Amino acid sequence: MLTFILVFGLVIVGVGIFGIGWPAQMTRMVGRVTFTNRLRYLAAAFRLALGAVLYLVAEQTGFPMTMKILAAFTVLAGVSVLFFSADRLQRWLETVRGWPPLAMRGVGLVALLLGGFFVLAVV
């Protein structure tokens, strides 16, 4: 499971670099997503599973308490997605599509830092 967190962290680092370097393309990619109930349930299931994995590997990482806190937030995010309708999530994505490039670079920076933390924690 540590390998999964390492790979996941590297993917998030890649997404962050992409968001920082090419914010307009990132905005276009976000604009192509159409939220359906199926995607909403898939997002919730992925976040719940990721939260469980983060919690289970927390003691094997260099930052066990931080990983447990991130696991709790991830599970909370997974549950909270279920409280929003697909239409509401789609409207939120439309809002994100209107963000300026600097805001998308900020999101990319957060992704880069979070992914880098996952890599650092498991290496």
The residue range of the domain holding 27 is 2-122
Tens-place pLDDT, residues 66-116: 999 999 999 999 999 999 999 999 999 889 888 999 999 999 999 999 999
Q: Is this prediction's pTM over 0.85?
A: yes
Mean pLDDT of the chain: 94
Q: Are 98 and 24 in contact (CB under 8 A)?
A: no
Distance, in Å, from the CA atom of 122 to the CA atom of 70, rounded to the nearest integer, reads: 14
| Total domains, the chain | 1
